[in-house]
Chains A and B, each alone.
Chain A
């Protein structure tokens, strides 16, 4: 500890012993901040205090000096706790930097390109609740009038979910075909997830394949939130439901698939439960609320509708999404 600090401490203490004003206490407290900044341990502060008192009032009874020695002994573990805290803070900072890097890697790794298809307008938004996104969206397209899209939600969040997602991505890459049928895609990914992932982790996925020439959507689902179909002619909403177990539950799971032919103005809305399970002060936000939001903007481009739904839901939940939010809208034009 520097001599200068000891001298300053003695002066501040002397001022206070002469005159017990709030001003003098305030000066002392400000000084303690400087001590912390310079990593001076509590036991050293007491030692400094003892030395200062000795110089100022050397004639005090022995019991006073013994009591300071006792107090020094008492403070050793506090000093250690303080050092440990500083070292843990540093580690936390390092972890944060690593997490940021991981989030960047995830973003690059999971980047997907919107396909360009005759007669189809696509809107997409995926926003993580925390640093790492537990939702996954992936397009496969061969520029031959077919495109596949997987919308997946890893149950569990953060780093483990992100790692699981990279696996799904490589599974999809290995299939490498925009013609692949939903029941086959879901079957393959199911076996990959079942083999490689911890029992406590599950993935739900909606997979659809779009054939632009016939405007035909073929879809299947592995325990995922049903997609929504809006029929422009009937002005009605319905659910696109398909039976199938969550991915990773059983290697023997079999997945259904269905088809629907789209007509001009029809919308297909695919999403994760972050969209439908939002909460406001009155409880869950009903599906009808989402229908209503889409209805209001159905004439707009798909991306405008997606953004509008997000903005409105965010407003309803006072900007506090609990879950990752992913929404894809196909609009037949």
Chain B
């Protein structure tokens, strides 16, 4: 079962809207303050990546229920240039050393599950889940 809603990312302000959406859903699901902050930080990172590298895209937030567990799924999808070297962007220190923030390894750490699919010239689809404990 899932319940979804999404935000188009075109300007920097849309990042805030995506965060707000994520926070509302996280709160509703019963995540505590620390996990809410982690989820919104992950959304920030993903939305910023869309804004900076793809130009436009979409952040989708879904509520998940699976085997009696509740969780939140963030989908970040764009039809930008794609990522040429995934291994490199998943390396520690690759983005952070340039002061660009937590980067994708950060998103992976903030969430429980992380999947990335990217095709050069077609776009990137990232899915990150956090389960309520």
**A84 pairs with B105, CB closer than 8 A:** yes
- Please report the C-alpha to C-alpha distance between residue A88 and residue B33 in the assembled complex, in whole angstroms: 28
Q: Mark B6-42, 1 if CB is under 8 A from A, else 0.
A: 0000000000000000000000000011100110110
Min CB distance B27 to A, Å, is: 12
**A84 pairs with B101, CB closer than 8 A:** no
Min CB distance B18 to A, Å, is: 15
**B34 pairs with A44, CB closer than 8 A:** yes
> Residues of B contacting A77 with CB < 8 Å?
41, 101-102, 106
- Enumerate B88-120 residues with CB–CB distance to A below 8 Å: 92-93, 96, 101-102, 105-106, 109-110
- Please report the C-alpha to C-alpha distance between residue A72 and residue B102 in the assembled complex, in whole angstroms: 16
- Please report the C-alpha to C-alpha distance between residue A189 and residue B100 in the assembled complex, in whole angstroms: 48
Interface assignment of A292: CB less than 8 Å from any CB of chain B = no
**A76 pairs with B92, CB closer than 8 A:** no
**A81 pairs with B109, CB closer than 8 A:** no
**A81 pairs with B37, CB closer than 8 A:** no
**A80 pairs with B110, CB closer than 8 A:** yes
Interface assignment of A93: CB less than 8 Å from any CB of chain B = no
Contact of A76 among B32, B38, B96, B105 (CB under 8 A): B38
> Residues of A contacting B101 with CB < 8 Å?
77
**A81 pairs with B96, CB closer than 8 A:** yes
Most A-side CB within 10 Å, residue of B33, B102, B110: B33
**B106 pairs with A80, CB closer than 8 A:** yes
Interface assignment of A87: CB less than 8 Å from any CB of chain B = yes
- Enumerate B18-72 residues with CB–CB distance to A below 8 Å: 32-34, 37-38, 40-41
Min CB distance A82 to B, Å, is: 10
> Residues of B contacting A73 with CB < 8 Å?
37, 40-41
Secondary structure at the B interface, as helix, strand, loop or mixed, is helix
**A83 pairs with B34, CB closer than 8 A:** no
> Residues of A contacting B106 with CB < 8 Å?
77, 80, 84
In this complex, how many residues of chain A approach chain B with their Cβ under 8 Å: the count is 16
- Enumerate B76-96 residues with CB–CB distance to A below 8 Å: 92-93, 96
Q: Mark A74-117, 1 if CB is under 8 A from B, else 0.
A: 00110011011001100100000000000000000000000000
> Residues of A contacting B34 with CB < 8 Å?
43-44, 47, 72
Closest to A43 in B: B34
> Residues of B contacting A47 with CB < 8 Å?
32-34
Decide: A84 near B33, CB < 8 A? Known: A76-B110, A77-B101: no
Min CB distance B85 to A, Å, is: 18
**A83 pairs with B109, CB closer than 8 A:** yes
> Residues of A contacting B40 with CB < 8 Å?
73
**B33 pairs with A80, CB closer than 8 A:** no
**B93 pairs with A72, CB closer than 8 A:** no
> Residues of B contacting A239 with CB < 8 Å?
none
Interface assignment of A312: CB less than 8 Å from any CB of chain B = no
Interface assignment of A11: CB less than 8 Å from any CB of chain B = no
> Residues of A contacting B38 with CB < 8 Å?
43, 76
> Residues of A contacting B33 with CB < 8 Å?
47, 50, 69, 72
- Please report the C-alpha to C-alpha distance between residue A72 and residue B41 in the assembled complex, in whole angstroms: 11
- Please report the C-alpha to C-alpha distance between residue A81 and residue B93 in the assembled complex, in whole angstroms: 10
Contact of B92 among A44, A72, A87 (CB under 8 A): A87
Supplied contacts A73-B37, A88-B93, 13 more A-B pairs, CB within 8 Å: A43-B34, A43-B37, A44-B34, A47-B34, A72-B33, A72-B37, A73-B41, A76-B38, A76-B41, A76-B110, A80-B106, A84-B105, A84-B106
Q: Which residues of A contact B (CB under 8 A)?
A: 43-44, 47, 50, 69, 72-73, 76-77, 80-81, 83-84, 87-88, 91
Q: Which residues of B contact A (CB under 8 A)?
A: 32-34, 37-38, 40-41, 92-93, 96, 101-102, 105-106, 109-110
Q: Name 6 A/B residue pairs within 8 A (Cβ), A-sorted.
A: A43-B38, A72-B33, A76-B110, A83-B109, A84-B93, A91-B92
